[in-house]
């Protein structure tokens, strides 16, 4: 061992030993919607993690002399993976590693650090909303220099490299102390352990009106509950909401990150954040409630007696952005992922803003943000963000809503109802069928595909099909084309049904069915979404036959 983990300087002038280890390629290292996600046990197989990391390093133009940011959501295997990656980064010539203390960095914080330190890129260790623990999921994702997830041309290259890789490089050195803040030089590699929260908290302070928030919380007008779901946002929420904004300690629940998230899915929706949901629909609900996911990039927004769909949340943010200091001059444009409801499109049309429709996954927003074509973007899957980083950002969305409530002096339900009155309501729901046998899922997609040519013009009850296609995206900045991004059936009244297979699951296939219907009449705005969408739900089954083909009677999760 050449590095003394107690933090003492290593032998000056010593050249670290680098070993080249022979390895066999794995055939399944194709990154999905957001990085490579597999069971922990798969990542623990001989050379599995090392192969993928070396495939990334091999695919990058240059690693020598570069700075890499490193951190994860703290789930099981996080620390171990970080130690391996440090040794591999050293062997691949990186000159500096910036690592969150304890190996922790939320995804948006990692994005910010990459940008702020002008790093070459970063590795984020997370399987996001997937459960954690020895029998559950782990993941790894590479972000490029703009702070955003690597675009497809990179992820394709990583995968191609992983198919032929025959060796990886790793330095012989002891484990690094991840818990002491400060810099150490180990041979030619500088390792800097940073506080994971400070830079991010400072960024939030530069975007929102912290004085107004402090007053509104201090006066008791804003009461709140934030559920960190035993995941990464606990320390961030405590620092920002409690220490900086003065919210009572008990405003942040499940605030200690756990390696297995307490055995729960760290997925912020009404099903998984049930403790929060019960409170918000009960008699003692605070004015505002929110939750975030495993790696801190998702957000669920609720108010007393109301749940705000992520699609509505994006539209409401877009409509009110001028009330937030950082967006006071207005937005350059907005974007949403294809399955996200068209609510934000209505705001864009009213305010004459450019509006883009991208495939699912944050990597498609990066070019639009970099080119200044959009300021705000979001997905139906509880993701919203802006040009302040290149990832979706859970706590940012929470602060945005708090700032909005403070400025408008209105409870969440009033803000939402006023919005619907002005723009109409896009009634929306997503039905997930999880862990479907891969063959059956592929059969469903094939069956849907076969119907596409015949659907347009056909009428089903009150719905007439206007278009039926497979979504393809041509990036307006670099002209790259991404095909097969989900099957869409659009109706003449603007209603839609979208079908896609998930790219983040680790067991079988997950079919997602997205349903939406526009309702202009304010008298009908309080309808239950499942009831209002009942006809479309039936039609979706008629088209895809998921129940018939799987023998299931209902989706696993409805959001
Ligand atoms: C899901 C969501 C997608 C999101 C992705 C990553 O992908 O649908 O909108 O970008 O998760 O989010 P898929 O392919 O399973 O539908 V996270 O919070 O896991 O980084
Ligand atoms: Co996430």
Domain limits, CATH 3.30.310.50, in the chain: 425-558
Position in ligand 1 atom list of the atom nearest CA 500:
16
Sign of CA dihedral 10, 15, 19, 25: positive
pLDDT value of residue 273: 92
Quick check: 3 pLDDT over 80?
no
The CATH classification number of 200-423 equals 3.40.120.10
Atom of ligand 1 nearest to the CA of 380: 9
- pLDDT tens string 181-222: 999 999 889 999 999 999 999 999 999 999 999 999 999 999
In the prediction, which pLDDT does 11 show?
40
pLDDT at 508 over 90: no
Probe ligand 1: pick from 129, 136, 362, 381, max atoms within 8 Å of CB?
Answer: 381
CA distance 163 to 182: 38
From the CA of 33, give the closest atom in ligand 1: 14
Mean pLDDT of all residues in 235-246: 98
CA pseudo-torsion sign 293, 298, 302, 307: negative
**CA 251 to chain CA mean position, Å:** 23
CATH of domain 425-558: 3.30.310.50
The pick from 357, 377, 383, 498 for probing ligand 1's pocket by mutation, whose C-beta has the most ligand atoms within 8 angstroms, reads: 383
Which ligand lies nearest to the CA atom of residue 149 in the structure? 1
Going from the Cα of 506 to the center of ligand 2, the distance in angstroms, rounded, reads: 15
The residue whose CA is least distant from atom 8 of ligand 1 is 381
Residue nearest to atom 2 of ligand 1 (CA): 381
Q: Which of these CATH numbers, 3.40.120.10, 3.40.920.10, 3.30.160.250, 3.30.360.10, describes 17-196?
A: 3.40.120.10
Q: How far is the CA of 187 from the centre of ligand 1 (A)?
A: 39
Catalytic entry in 55, 106, 126, 128: 128
Q: Ligand 1: residues within 6 Å at CB?
A: 33-34, 128-129, 293, 297-298, 337, 360-362, 379, 381, 383, 502-504, 512
Calculate how far, in angstroms, residue 558's C-alpha sits from the geometric centre of ligand 2: 18
Which residue is associated with the tokens 């300021």? 375
Instruction: Kindly state the average pLDDT of the residues 35-58.
Output: 97
- For ligand 2, the distance from its centroid to the CA atom of residue 137, given in whole angstroms, is 13
Locus of tokens 């994702």: 141
Considering the entire predicted model, what is its pTM?
0.93
Looking at residue 4, its pLDDT comes to 37
- 295 CA to centre of ligand 2 in angstroms: 5
Q: Token match 């498609």: residue?
A: 364
Q: For ligand 1, atom 19, which residue shows the shortest CA distance?
A: 128
pLDDT, tens digit, for every residue of 122-176?
Answer: 999 999 999 999 999 999 999 999 999 999 999 999 999 999 999 999 999 999 9
pLDDT range class, residue 34, cuts 50, 70, 90: confident
Return all residues near 62 (Cβ < 8 A) that are at least 6 apart: 120
DSSP-derived 3-state class of residue 535: helix
The residue whose C-alpha atom lies closest to atom 17 belonging to ligand 1 is 128
Going from the Cα of 274 to the center of ligand 1, the distance in angstroms, rounded, reads: 21
**pLDDT at 392 exceeding the cut of 70:** yes
Tokens matching residue 525: 């705005």
Length of the chain: 559
Q: State the angle between helix axes of 394-408 and 310-320 in degrees (0 to 180), rounded to the nearest 10.
A: 50
CA-nearest residue, atom 18 of ligand 1: 128
Sign of CA dihedral 213, 219, 225, 231: positive
Q: Which regions of the chain carry the CATH code 3.40.120.10?
A: 17-196, 200-423
User: Residue of the nearest CA to atom 16 in ligand 1?
Assistant: 502
- What residues have CB less than 8 Å from 8, skipping those under 6 apart? none
Q: pLDDT confidence of 2, banded at 50, 70, 90?
A: very low
DSSP 115-140: HHTT-SEEEEE--TTS--STTSEEEE
What is the maximum span of the chain, computed from C-alpha positions, in angstroms?
A: 79
For the cut 50, the answer to whether the pLDDT of residue 247 exceeds it is: yes
Atom of ligand 1 nearest to the CA of 379: 9
Percent of the chain with pLDDT over 90: 91
Question: Is 128 one of the annotated active-site residues of the chain?
Answer: yes
């Amino acid at each position: 061992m050449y590095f003394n983990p107690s933090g003492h300087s290593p032998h000056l002038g010593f050249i670290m030993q680098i070993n080249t280890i022979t390895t066999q390629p794995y055939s399944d290292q194709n990154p999905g919607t957001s990085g490579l996600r597999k069971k922990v046990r798969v990542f623990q197989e001989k050379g599995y993690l090392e192969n993928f990391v070396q495939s990334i390093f091999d695919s990058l133009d240059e690693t020598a002399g570069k700075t890499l940011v490193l951190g994860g959501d703290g789930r099981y295997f996080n620390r171990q993976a970080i130690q391996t990656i440090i040794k591999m980064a050293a062997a691949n010539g990186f000159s500096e590693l910036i690592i969150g203390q304890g190996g922790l960095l939320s995804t948006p914080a990692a994005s910010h650090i990459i940008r702020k330190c002008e790093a070459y890129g970063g590795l984020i260790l997370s399987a996001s909303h997937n459960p954690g623990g020895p029998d559950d999921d782990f993941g790894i994702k590479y972000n490029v220099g703009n702070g955003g997830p690597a675009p497809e041309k990179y992820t394709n290259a990583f995968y191609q490299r992983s198919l032929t890789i025959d060796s990886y490089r790793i330095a012989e050195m002891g484990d690094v102390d991840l818990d002491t803040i400060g810099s150490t030089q180990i041979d030619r590699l500088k390792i800097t352990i940073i506080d994971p929260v400070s830079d991010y908290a400072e960024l939030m302070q530069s975007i929102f009106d912290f004085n107004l928030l402090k007053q509104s919380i201090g006066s008791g007008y804003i009461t709140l509950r934030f559920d960190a779901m035993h995941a990464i946002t606990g320390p961030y929420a405590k620092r920002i909401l409690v220490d900086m904004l003065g919210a009572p300690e008990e405003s942040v629940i499940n605030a200690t990150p756990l390696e297995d998230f307490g055995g729960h899915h760290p997925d912020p929706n009404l099903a998984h954040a049930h403790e929060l949901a019960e409170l918000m629909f009960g008699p003692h609900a605070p004015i505002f409630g929110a939750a975030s996911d495993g790696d801190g990039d998702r957000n669920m927004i609720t108010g007393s007696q109301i749940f705000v769909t992520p699609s509505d949340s994006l539209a409401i943010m877009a409509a009110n952005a001028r009330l937030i200091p950082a967006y006071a001059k207005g937005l350059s444009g907005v974007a949403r992922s294809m399955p996200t409801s068209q609510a934000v499109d209505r705001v864009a049309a009213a305010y004459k803003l450019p509006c883009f429709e991208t495939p699912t996954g944050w990597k498609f927003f990066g070019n639009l943000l970099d080119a200044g074509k959009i300021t705000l973007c979001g997905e139906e899957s509880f993701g919203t963000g802006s040009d302040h980083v290149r990832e979706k950002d859970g706590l940012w969305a929470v602060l945005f809503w708090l700032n909005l409530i403070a400025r408008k002096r209105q409870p969440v339900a009033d803000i939402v109802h006023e919005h619907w009155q002005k723009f109409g309501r896009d009634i929306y729901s997503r039905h997930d069928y999880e862990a479907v046998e891969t063959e059956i899922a592929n059969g469903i997609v094939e069956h849907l595909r076969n119907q596409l040519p015949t659907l347009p013009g056909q009428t089903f009850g009150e719905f007439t099909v206007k278009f039926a296609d497979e979504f393809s995206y041509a990036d307006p900045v670099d002209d790259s084309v991404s095909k097969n991004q989900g099957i869409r059936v659009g109706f003449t009244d603007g209603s839609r049904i979208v079908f896609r297979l998930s790219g983040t699951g680790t067991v079988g296939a997950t079919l997602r069915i997205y349903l939406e219907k526009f309702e202009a009449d304010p008298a009908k705005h309080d309808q239950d979404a499942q009831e209002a969408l009942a006809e479309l739900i039936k039609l979706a089954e008629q088209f895809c036959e998921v129940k018939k083909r799987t023998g299931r009677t209902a989706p696993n999760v409805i959001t």
